[in-house]
Structure 1
Amino acid sequence: MSSPPYARELALALQTVHRASLLTKQFLRSLSNNVAAETKTDDSPVTIADFAAQALIISAISAVFPSDGFIGEESATALREKPSLCSNVWNLVSSAPQVGDFEGEALRKPKGVQEMLDVIDLGAGEQTAKGRVWVLDPVDGTATFMKGQQYAVCLALLVDGVQKVGVIGCPNLRRSPAGGKIHEDLVDVEGYGIMLSAVEGQGAFVRGMDAKGLEGAERIELKEKNVDLSELDFVDAAPGWSSLSQETHRAVEESLGAKWPGTQLWSQQMKYISLALGATDVMLRIPPSRDRWTQVWDHAGGQLIFQEAGGIIKDLDGGAIDMGQGRKIHGQRNFGTIAALPWCFERVMEATKKALECSK
């Protein structure tokens, strides 16, 4: 009997994200929230864990699929320029836990500093429209990671610009009953959180993570809610997220009678996770203009998981999100995002269009 499509890719991605999730969680615990960080050119913080996790993920995937491409958030430029930082990252990579395997062999990790730097830089790919490209964000939500709050370890496989596999580790997310709320400070202190995954056309699943392996998978099937629109819980950007039109978001939510702001999460991928788990109902992304763009690694994988759980995701013009644009999803092609379940999607879309007209 043949395996379902992308079974090998999923199996490898699960083990790879699990190892990277353990690494980041153990690193966070060892520092007691006093995380050493660098600053990238866009002023966002980068921790040692970002670099180390990217090195581990790409090393494991490229060893099995050497012809595949990669797009990752980090580059090794800062490590090449700062020997002390490079040494700290290498110490973390070399001490990574030897957990999991793929087809009977241990997951590969870099064997030296130079290989580590080269592997990180494999993530400098530019195109996603053709062929097989793995998109990763080793730590999505670095600002909240540094505070010991929610973050995500993200990996997705695109084939000719289409999401085929998505795996997201949530090392700080405490497992709760379906529909249980998610907050930045509701942290799995003792354990290692959960992992969500999906393959196109095969559904979405959630697993627990521990120090030795992954627990059994449970299928996620979101139920249509019979509630008033005023009870919708929007998952909103955290305060200070200046790339979104906060007042327009507020106008949409209040026009439906919903509370504003709703649940606030910093990590974009954690927003998709909250939707997929039924912890929130709607996510809006309304940029100030069509000149804005967003990074593909903030959305690849998480969108697939929510869609496979039963959700709908479209841009504000009603079109599908095009993952084949390369490193950036451009506002001229995909202006904003609405993610919601079918029962309320059209009502939210209608309210959003009205709010955008009033804001002109």
Structure 2
Amino acid sequence: MSDLSTQHRLIPTALEAVGTACAVSRAVQANLAQLCEVTKDDRSPVTVADFAVQAIISLSLADQLDPLDRLIVGEEDAEVLRTDKQALIRKAVLEAVQSWRPQVTETEMLDAIDACNHDGSGDGFWALDPIDGTKGFLRGQHYAIALGRIENGKVVAGVMGCPNLSIDQSFPLGEVDSEGVMYAASEGAGAWEFADCNATSSPMRILAQKYDASRPLRFCESAEKGHSNRGDSGKIIDAIGTEGEPARLDSQCKYSLVARGQADGYLRLPTSKTYIEKIWDHAAGLCIATEAGAIVSDVRGNPLDFTQGTRLEKNRGVICAIDGLHQKIIAAIDSLSIAKE
């Protein structure tokens, strides 16, 4: 695996788990209409995918890792899934998991989902977002499977599958690629790209762009208005002196666009004074972007603090940008009095 041999010791296991989950989630997404018809619930496909991916990653890590190495802070728990009202959803989740491992029982699946109940304390754990970008998933567009490794309050490794994102940067972002791409990074070992969401494909090193004031800058932000303050984004972009609308897509895939040099900045600006970011929404993406040479901080320029349990209690908003541009964004936020307390 070339220089990947210096990656974090748990990266191979995480790559295999996320790659498997990408294939299963893609099959669920391809079956959107049928799932909605069977369950009579328009949101059922993303519910099925969320639970199935969490179960698959939980079981995969349990297969290969010691108990202390497989602690997971997961976004989901199986309490609702165990109820009679959710019988059809539960059956669909089990079928999705069994498409990967036919012998898994319903009890094993539910217990695997509930095993992802770590509270974000201690020396080491994983932060998992099984389907990041739920609305993108339901639209048949971009989503991510994001698994970040946190040790002693610091993100030290990350794996992210982007099942609908093309490895070919000339491919339109608004269109879906049938093969997808997966990313892995760990502290001090760089960021790497895997074609087809396949852990056994030949990895390619990725690097963020260098800042160049003479060229147009490219930004990206969430496809959902409620996830970031677009008005403030526009003010920042104007203040920096560049033109053009940001590319808009769902999920942590935006971190990978900056990491692989396809975008220069990703802005996630607060839409309210009370919202606090969740660790699983940023851990994997942060590691991949920073190892590719980008800078990630909150809107004040402070590093994201992963010592506060499951939420980024000490931070507001997130800025991911190439070196040179990041400093200009933070200066613009300050001068425009954006996201003041």
Question: Given the alignment of the two structures, is residue 245 of structure 1 paired with residue 229 of structure 2, yes or no?
Answer: yes
The structural deviation recorded for 1:33 is: 8.3
The structural deviation recorded for 1:228 is: 3.5
How far apart in 1 are the matches of 2:92 and 2:302? 44
Cα deviation code 1:190-215 (max 9, x no counterpart) = xx2111110111000001126x7631
Question: Given the alignment of the two structures, is residue 351 of structure 1 paired with residue 325 of structure 2, yes or no?
Answer: no
Secondary structure in 1 matching 2:312: strand
How far apart in 2 are the matches of 1:34 and 1:91? 12
Counterpart position of 1:23? 24
Cα deviation code 1:46-73 (max 9, x no counterpart) = 4211111110001111232322321111
Change (3 A) 1:213 1:198: closer
How far apart in 1 are the matches of 2:149 and 2:325? 29
Counterpart position of 1:103? none
Question: Given the alignment of the two structures, is residue 76 of structure 1 paired with residue 78 of structure 2, yes or no?
Answer: yes
What stretches of structure 1 of length at least 5 have no aligned partner?
Answer: 99-108
What is the TM-score when the length of structure 1 is the normalising length?
A: 0.84
What stretches of structure 2 of length at least 5 have no aligned partner?
Answer: none
Identical pairs, percent = 31
Does structure 2 conserve the Cα–Cα contact (< 8 Å) formed by 1:139 and 1:152?
Answer: yes
The structural deviation recorded for 1:292 is: 1.9
Among 178, 192, 200, the alignment partner of 1:205 is 192
Secondary structure in 1 matching 2:30: helix
Does structure 2 conserve the Cα–Cα contact (< 8 Å) formed by 1:204 and 1:220?
Answer: yes
How far apart in 2 are the matches of 1:49 and 1:110? 19
Does structure 2 conserve the Cα–Cα contact (< 8 Å) formed by 1:33 and 1:146?
Answer: no
Q: Supply the AA of the counterpart residue of 2:180.
A: G
How far apart in 2 are the matches of 1:5 and 1:309? 14
Q: Supply the AA of the counterpart residue of 2:205.
A: R
Counterpart position of 2:218? 233
Once the two structures are superposed, the pairs formed by residues 22-41 of structure 1 within 5 Å of their partners are: 22-31=23-32
Change (3 A) 1:307 1:59: same
Does structure 1 conserve the Cα–Cα contact (< 8 Å) formed by 2:35 and 2:45?
Answer: no
How far apart in 1 are the matches of 2:44 and 2:187? 32
What is the TM-score when the length of structure 2 is the normalising length?
A: 0.88
CA RMSD of aligned residues (A): 2.7
Secondary structure in 1 matching 2:336: helix
Q: Supply the AA of the counterpart residue of 1:235.
A: C
Cα deviation code 1:142-194 (max 9, x no counterpart) = 211122211111111111121111000111111214xx4762x32113xx211
Structure with a larger share of its residues in helix: 2
Counterpart position of 1:115? 108
Count the aligned residue pairs. 332
Among 132, 137, 158, the alignment partner of 1:166 is 158
The structural deviation recorded for 1:261 is: 3.4
